[in-house]
Amino acid sequence: MDKKRLLLTMGQVMIGAIFTLILAFQLWKYDMKVISIILISTAICQYIFIFKKALSSPKKRK
């Protein structure tokens, strides 16, 4: 992937993770804690994906 597409993909994943966290905390208020915990773990996995891609060497990205 070229650098522009990689940044676009990482931005989309980050926006998705933010909306996932917002939804999780809204559901937490309405006592849907199991679904909320699943969504929070999904968002954490998305952030791990972003940071792993960002910190990987340029040779591994291609």
Q: For residue 42, is it within any domain?
A: yes
Q: Is residue 40 part of a domain?
A: yes
Domain assignment present for residue 29? The answer is: yes
Residue 33 lies in a domain: yes
- Considering all CA atoms of the chain, what is the largest pairwise distance in Å, rounded to the nearest integer? 46
The reported pLDDT for the residue numbered 57 is 60
As for how many domains the chain has, the answer is: 1
pLDDT (average), residues 14-42: 87
pLDDT score recorded for residue 58: 64
CA 50 to the chain's CA centroid: 7
Name every residue whose Cβ is closer than 8 Å to that of residue 34 and which is 6 or more positions away in sequence: none
**3 is a domain residue:** no
pLDDT band at 21 (very low <50, low <70, confident <90, very high): confident
62 pLDDT above the threshold of 60: no
Q: Which domain holds residue 30?
A: 9-52
Instruction: Decide if 31 is inside a domain.
Output: yes
Measured between alpha carbons, how far apart are the two ends of the chain, in Å?
6
CB within 8 A of 21, min separation 6: which ones? 39, 40, 43
pTM above 0.85, yes or no: no
